[in-house]
Structure 1
Amino acid sequence: MNRFPKISLSLLVPTFVVVLFTVIVTIQFFVERSQLQQDLAESKSEQITSSLFRMRHVVESALSNQDLERIEQEVSLVGTDVNMQVYALLDMSGEIHYANHVIWRESNAKSVLEGYQEQLHQNVVTNEQAFVDIDFERLEIQVYYPLNSNNRYSYSNTINLIYLEYDISGLVSSASDQLLARFVYVQASGLIAIIFFCLTLHWLLVKPLKRLSASARHVGEDSFDADFVSPSKEVADLRDYLKLVSGKLSRCNKRLNDAEQRWLFAVEGARNGIWDWDLVSGDVFISDRWKEILGYQAYELDNDYSVWESRLHPEDKPQVLLTLQNYINNKTDNYESVHRLRHKTGRYTWVLDRGKTVEWDSKGSPTRLIGSITDVTGDVKTQRLAPSKNASQSNLTDLIDRESLANELYDLQVYSRKAGQFSALLMINLNNFKLINDALGRQIGDRLLIQIAARLTGAFSHVGTVARLGSDEFVILARNFGGELEQANKRALALASEVRQLIGRSFSVSEQNLSISARVGIVVFEGIESLEPQTLLARADGALVQAKDSRSNGCAIYYPHYDENSRPFDLGHELKQALASEQISLVYQPVVDQAGRLHSLEALLRWYHPLHGFISPKKFIPIAELSDSIFELELLAIEQACHLIRELQQDEQQAPLISINISSRHFHQSHFVSMVVSKIQSKKVKLQNIQLELKGDIFSVNADEARLKLLELQRHGLKVALDDFGAGLCAFYQIQGIGFSQVKLSQHYLNNLESSTESINVLNGVVDLARQLSLPVVGKHIENKMQLHKLTQARCSYFQGYIISRPLNITDTKQLIQSQLSLSVVT
């Protein structure tokens, strides 16, 4: 690394001040000289113009009196000025009639005068406007001055211009010399002042600093001596501070040694084993606890990298090394791995291994990593664990099952009553886990569950019990939340937030970085009611439903009124019966352009239950996505949409584009493209008449495969739209090169438009971005004129919402198409 040379302040400060002063004075000199030249030239130009005004009257008077000798006298008088290089009276042809040099007379100006321009001469005479030019390079003034013509005298028609060139170099040179003399005086005076300033600075600052610097070398030693007087307050303060540092240094060293001993004690007493790896030297430190986890004494293993790598399970080793290398190469944000290490006895121990970079080189590459391993053998088993080995535990994650969880809940309520402390049940639901399972396979899904279980137990086992309920649900039982309900609720929400953040960090599974989020439903109790475990779990499940609300930040606490809002029947079971008994139908909401012309229709599912009436899609579609019912619903929507198109074609009506919502889970099925294409073709409908509407979360799993599948759909002729555009479900770079037929704005952009200028600017920015990508923008969920007005101003291509048209049944839809009625978009 290059280092600057060390220069004494005694030299550095004077040099800097002198150079700075010289630069400033020099710049000022050139600026003033330039201004002086300008002022002198303009002043002289005004004098010349005044004399030419007088000369014009003299010439006109002489010509009218035929007194040509007077003109000769005036020209001769002007010629006495040594700076007057050219002074000539010309006619329109450029012939010189009078000049300050006799030799030029009766000659053409173009031949004898270098600066003369005939065209400029004619322009000046024609416009009767004098032309004055100051040439600072040649230091001269050039003037074309017109004379008034008088047709009563034939001679007056010949002389019509005075042309002169005046040399101002002598004038400028004299003024510059005076200016230079003044600046030399200023420079000399300034240098004297600088010398005095530097001597004062050396006495007040530099000399005391040198002495203080010499004393600082002995801080903390008996030879330290800083007893000197300084007139500078800052130096005196620094001297006093060094005295304090010298006195504290020995005490700090002792405290540091004590702290190091306490840290070592804490590390060895904790459950985690510590490792420290210097990537440059290759040195590795492993703590005694690290060795103990594998059954070794402190002296039995060397501090060497090979000690760790050689003990990796052969099946885990490639993935673990790849995960570690990806982190070192900055391809992942964190290093975390659940793997097996060989125990001294020969068996393998499951560990949660986490690490973090603490030092980097100048290029930003890691040079030192520190991490820990946690023994999670009691929490994680391989997928080949036999079910009979421990009947009270989940085979996959080895967490306790529902029966054991019920016993734990009974015990926790008893503990809460006796201790007078609130406890909490946290039910954790993994969002989109089924999507990952379907898209990447059950094996990767199981490995992900193992890592989630290890991460949860490693972080929260000290809080209470961690259990797994189902394929994508975990439970944490936590105790000792205090005796006040309000405080207990706050602590439970804080714990739930920690859980969501922990799960929200990316996982590395089989060379893939997976991201998953979670919702948490919370039940806080004190055990007085002695509730059945099923009741507590049901309440937690109700809170989990409330956690879907965007305002809850993914966490919700159970309140009694949630029971009043829950439906008294199983939606999943009823939905299957609804599909079998044809209770599901479609309605169509128009999408129009700015002129109100129908552009397309969005097909929306509706469920009318014979006992419970209409059931909101917001309730039954999330339930359908948890099972295979979502596939049946979406294929039913395609079938009914094709049926409508066929009816319109039979009535010789032009069928509009029909948009059908497709879930991410359905999209990632391996046979999705072929199934959809064959379904539409079997109905004898053109693929171009159908648009599949997808959300950006299709890119959350296997983004490259999702991209290829979208392009395959388009190659077949299907149109593809992106729903909830701008909601953050996918990065903008992921949609490059995919020619979406529409992008539908997220409803969030319609919030606060009436009161927030910032919201309007954000809306305009998102629409403008889509337009620059050549993507037609649909503003949807429009409910009032203000929203419609703002979307129109933002230049959306199409509009959809209740203010334009409610969703229409098939009869009303056909009537709208047949009538070719325009729906008003006037704002």
Structure 2
Amino acid sequence: MIDFSSTLPGLSGLPSADPVASGRLSVAALLDHLQHALVVLDVEGRVVGHNHCAREMLELPLTLLQKQPLIDDVVRWQIKRGDLRGDAQRLVERVWYHLRRVQETGQPHIYTYTTAGGRTLQGTTIAVPGGGWVRTYVDVTRHAQAANFLRESEERFRSLTELSADWYWEWDAEGRYTRLEGRLIRETSTAEMFLGRCAWDVPALNRPTAREWRPLIEAFEQRRVFRRFEIQRRLQDGRVVWFSISGMPVYDAQGRFAGYRGVGRDVTRRKADQATIERLAFYDSLTGLYNRRSFQDKLTQAQAASARSGQWSALCFIDLDNFKDINDAFGHGVGDQLLQTVAKRLREAVREEDTIARLGGDEFVVLLEDLDREEEQAAWRAQHVAEKIRVALERPVTVDGHEVQSTPSIGITVFRGRSDAVEDILGRADLAMYHSKAAGRNAVRFFDPAMQEAVLARATLQRELRHGLRDGELRLYGQPIVDDKAQVVGYEALLRWQHPLRGMVSPAEFIPVAEQSGLILPMGQWVLRQACAHLAAWARDPQRAHWTMAVNLSARQLRQPDFVQSVQTALAETGANPSRLKLELTESLLLHDVEDTIVKMAALSAMGVQFALDDFGTGYSSLAYLKRLPLDQLKIDRTFVRDILDDPNDAAIARTILQLANSLELSVVAEGVETVAQFETLRAMGCRLFQGYHFGRPTAL
């Protein structure tokens, strides 16, 4: 053992080497007990001192150290054994460079190396006052192994995220992204979209509102693990992708919530595969329509919905006539293109909410829901749609230069609720379709014979009404309106239809058909023009020049964008005085788009046209709207006039209407006056205008 006190000038003042001197250990004995290796170099770089730990840790032979070798010899010995690697001369020069550097700067030099035996040492060189150096060594093998393990783990992690479709992410305690790593993240620059933001703050196509994000937000707020939360996003390059993220909460050493960490995955391919599987399972591969299996599910759902709503639904069964002949003549390729065209035309012919399916071959079905609460009305609407389909499908199709035509035979059945099995509904529609073929094909038939007859009768009435409008069969009648002296002051225009075979057709029979078919628009314009023509003729007669003409408006007329212009046109073409024209609205018209109605009424009122509210007291009767509408007159409905002498309630209602009209500065017409007693009673209440059979029945104008 070398005595450090004799070799180091700076240590000469230390206690004696005597191990029991002063009852304390000597310096040499103390240094031998250190767990750090200690090596002393003199000014020439010779090893002049070391402790026991140095021999063990550096694994240097005692015979070498006893020779007090130069540091150069120690370095060469370590190179030979494999502790150090590289050119010997360069390594020696490097050692001396650091020794001198330490001497010049007074700053220690710290370095690390691994011996041939696998031990990692951290050395520190410091300068000794008066010359020389002290080198200490610490065994940092375990620390180096741990650091190496962490480095390798990080490298493995990065390799996995680079090679897979998964990526790693972290959130802070506020749920904001703080870290995103992975190949997909890097390649798509996705991190820019998310860092510093919460997942639910970045727009997602499948989660447009906060409600769709609630499951993820609740999991975060409750610190729960969440798995496979799917999000559809549009990337900066325009691509639409599906992501699935899973995460778990993270806590610090004190147990405080620190955020979340988790993984993400690109599941776009899986979602596309799922869509393909669903399409194959539920959709017809040729046309893209529902197949038989999915349509049966839709039909079951429609039954449940109709049971809840009370609305009738209908099923149209469509079979193409002579389709087999087209396939045989032109080949299946042409046939397939024809079926695709049929599918396209079906989509165009029905509402977006209606369900279309291809059952197989050339058989199609259309499901029409929420038609009406009345069975006959629902059947009428179904027949209207079916006829629209028939017209659309009977048009020829040009395929590969061939013009082909396959007309449809359509069968209809209506249903409501769950009383019938799905197969029974399909069977009835199928049977009705065969009746259509038996009737000559390219036709529409109902399953129920009685309903078929009713629908055909209505269709016939619509066709004949259209012809009647074209052929001048409509007639304008009028019922007089009188004052309190029973003197005529005007007429209410009433429409009649003089059928060449049926005779006079009741308005109650043909007006609903006109409303549904849209014929009410040209009919209403015809009535308006005829009424204005009569006003212009009366204006030339001093006895009738002050008369007014009241014309009833339909809801369809009032909703037309050009309604105001149509009235202006009728007045201009006939030369009628606008102030003598009175347009009558029912309270039901006020239930739809009141603001638009007010604007149109105001435009005509500014010209002098008057407005009357018909059947007052039987409908909506909103006083708020009454104040805003440019009205001139109210008409007491006949139901209150009929029993005014016997029912105190009817009398009170009539009196209230008169008082209300008086306060609003409106005139009042009492409808349905049929007796002198009714006339006198109403006149005593303050009514000044009357209409009814007591004063005259409707007559031709």
Q: TM-score range by the shorter chain?
A: 0.3 to 0.5
Question: Which is higher, the Rg of structure 1 or of structure 2?
Answer: 2
TM-score (norm 2): 0.40
